Structures are given as structure tokens and as C-alpha cells.
Amino acid sequence: MIFAFSWSLLVLTLAAQAPVPAANWPQFRGTARLSGVSAAPPPATLALKWTYDAGESIESSAAIVDGAVYVGSTKGELLALDLETGKLRWKYATGPNGSIGESSPAVAHGAVVVGDLAGTIHAVSAMDGTRLWTFATDGEVKSSAAIVDDLVLIGSYDTHLYALDRRSGKLRWKLQTDGPVHATPAVQNGIVYFAGCDERFRAVRAADGKVMYEIPLGAYTGASTAVDGDRAYVGTFDADVFALDLKTRKVAWTYRDPDRQFPYYSSAALHVTPTGTRVIVGGRDKAIHAIDAARGKTVWKFVTRARVDSSPALAGGRVFVGSSDGKLYVLDAATGAKAWEFDAGDAITASPAVAGGRVVVGSQDGRIYCFG
């Protein structure tokens, strides 16, 4: 029994640490650690390659795997588009009242998993869009899935974090919290990390759902947690960004902008350099913040004309992030200087996906854009 559990934990650990091919961005934030980093930067000068009109608002962030783009729409459709041409490969309808909100597709082992606002989790064939299985929760699903080996990990507004069997969709375990589970779970070394709407950060064993420890944050949290080694980073609705020490199980530092205090809904990206790590996150103060990960101090700040709920993506020393002012921005990760912008004409709350030298993002007017 002990051997079986140890082997299960080892498999989950190796799966979570397995490198993601640079041509792929298989889930929200790119990897199971939710770092928001791509190893396949797009060209220095971006050009619009194609657009696709999904018909209704895009709040879901894209996944990119093996030359296909997967993204959900509030129309209740999961779309598969060709990365090179933008042509529709297939579409899957979630069913009555099955609008796809912020839940973003996760792709692994030939399956695409996404949640809808009716509370249903869908697994669909990546090849042709046929339904593989569904699982019903009792609340909206805005969380995105993390697929780790044979587990699908995803939250629901019914206050539970679910672990489902990847092949069958059957429940393996569920963990009840004291509030909606909005965030996408991060996974590292067989441990699931997430902050919740019940103002607590949890570390949970992926193999069986056992809570290893909790850290009180004292604030409602909608953002997902980025994990890097012994540190985790997440912003809250109480206008703070936390660095959490996973060894001591305590808050390492708290960042609060000295000028304006607004909530953080955006999930952080981690810019690792030879001189240190920076935490880059959007705020509802209309700004993108770069924070020194060692000290919790401001490195730079770039101000847009509206709130930034989009989560930044990093590639090749650049930051790619949308704003509700309707623009996609490209910033120098070292200085915060603007390198490029594109006006989509409507709010961009979805987060960019970066893979295979392409940047893909949707906007509130229902259009999906690909740049390269």
C-alpha cells in the first residue's frame, strides 16, 4: 500500500515537471506551475497573421498544441482552429446554457478539457471534437483545468476542487473549501497549490486530495498562483501581491503599490534572469507591475487606459498582455518600455498564449487574433 502510494506520487511529480515542447502552450499559463513563460518567442516585429470571428465574446484563453489553437466562447462553443491559417478544424457545442467564460482549454493525451458556466466539465477529442465524457458540478466553472498524468484538476463555484480520472471523467476525489474555487490549480512535485475565495492558500496532495497545509491571506482571491521552486506568488482583491514561502509555510513578503490600491485579478508571470526573478502582473489600477521577487519592491510599472485583468505571457525578454482599453501590449521585460501595441477595438481580458513563434488572444467582440 505504501509502495503503491509512493509510486503514484512519483508519477504525478514527474508528469508535473516534464518539459512542455516549445511549439505548445497546452493550458492556461502554459505549464502546470502557471509560470506564464514560453520558450518559443515570436518575431521581434509582430504582424497580424489571421483573425477568426467566434460570434460572441472571448474570455477564455487559448491553448496551442501540435499546430492547433483551442479556445472557448461565451456562445457555448469550444473551437479548434489551424494555427497557421486560422481556419476552423471543428467546433464542439457545450449544450443549453453552456456558455464558456474564463475557463481555458487544457490539452493532453489527445483530449481537450474545459468547463462551462452551467457547471459542466467537458472532455473532447482533440482530433475531431467528439465528446469523450462530461462531469457535472453544482456551480459555475470558471477555473481552467490542469492535467497531470491521469488526473484532471479543476475548481468549481460549488466550493470544491475536483480531481477527475482523465480517461473516464469519474471522480477520484474532491476537496471542499469555504468559498468558490475560481483559480486554476498550480502543480509542482505532486502538490497542488491554489488560493481561494475563502481567503486561504492551500497545498494539497494530488494523489489523494489531502490538505498538507494552509496559509491565511485575509483577502478574496480570484487570481491563479504562479509557483517557482520554494516560492508561490498571487495577487488578491485586497490590493496585495503575496510571495509565499513553501518551505516555511509563511508569507515571505507582501507588495502593495504605494500610489493606488486596486484589486489584482490577473495571474502573475515569472521573469527569471541571471540577476534575479521578477513577478509581472496586471492590476485593476490600469497598470502592469514588475516586482522584485527577492524583496517585493517595484522594478517598473506600465500604465494602460483601463483595468488589466489579462494575465501576462513572457517570451524572449518581452511581456505580452491585454488590457480592457482594447489593446494588446508588448513590453520590454527588463524596463517596462512599450515595444509594440495592437488595437483590437474592444476589451482584452483573455490572456495571450505564446507558442511556435505565434501569439494568440481573443477579445470581447468575439474575435480571435493570431500574430507572428
Q: What is the CA radius of gyration of the chain?
A: 19
CA distance 136 to 152: 14
pLDDT tens, 122-178? 999 999 999 999 999 999 999 999 999 999 999 999 999 999 999 999 999 999 999
Percent of the chain with pLDDT over 70: 94
Query: What is the pLDDT at residue 252?
Result: 98
Query: What is the pLDDT at residue 334?
Result: 96
CA distance 310 to 236: 15
- Around 117, how many Cα atoms within 13 Å sit in the side-chain half-sphere? 15
Contact present, 342 and 371 (Cβ < 8 Å): yes
What is the Cα 99 distance to its own chain's centre? 18
Query: What is the pLDDT at residue 20?
Result: 55
pTM: predicted TM-score of the whole model, two decimal places: 0.94
Q: How far apart, in Å, are the Cα atoms of 114 and each of 74, 127, 160, 179, 267?
A: 12, 15, 16, 21, 19
What is the Cα 197 distance to its own chain's centre? 17
Q: How far apart, in Å, are the Cα atoms of 294 and each of 59, 89, 196, 282?
A: 32, 45, 24, 19
Query: What is the pLDDT at residue 21?
Result: 59
pLDDT score of 343 more than 50:
yes
Query: What is the pLDDT at residue 372?
Result: 97
Query: What is the pLDDT at residue 273?
Result: 87
**Closest C-alpha to 180, from 119, 232, 225:** 119
Q: How far apart, in Å, are the Cα atoms of 206 and each of 8, 200, 264, 365?
A: 9, 18, 27, 38
Query: What is the pLDDT at residue 61?
Result: 98
Give one DSSP letter per residue of 292-348, joined into a string.
ETTT--EEEEEE-SS---SPPEEETTEEEEE-TTSEEEEEETTT--EEEEEE-SS--
Contact present, 64 and 30 (Cβ < 8 Å): no
pLDDT tens, 79-114? 999 999 999 999 999 998 899 999 999 999 999 999
Least confident piece of the model among 16-25, 50-59, 61-70: 16-25
CA distance 196 to 217: 9
Average pLDDT for the chain: 94
Name, in order, each residue with C-beta under 8 angstroms of 263's C-beta and a sequence gap of 6 or more: 235, 236, 237, 238, 239, 283, 284
Average pLDDT over residues 355-366: 97
pLDDT score of 10 more than 60:
no
pLDDT score of 40 more than 70:
yes
Query: What is the pLDDT at residue 5?
Result: 41
Average pLDDT over residues 291-301: 97
Least confident piece of the model among 8-17, 130-139, 277-286, 317-326: 8-17
Cross-strand bridge partners of residue 227: 232
CA distance 12 to 331: 35
CA distance 306 to 227: 27
C-alpha cell at 263: 484589486
pLDDT tens, 185-243? 999 999 999 999 999 999 999 999 999 999 999 999 999 999 999 999 999 999 999 99
Q: How many residues are listed for the chain in this entry?
A: 372
Query: What is the pLDDT at residue 1?
Result: 43
pLDDT score of 330 more than 80:
yes
C-alpha cell at 318: 518581452
pLDDT score of 62 more than 70:
yes
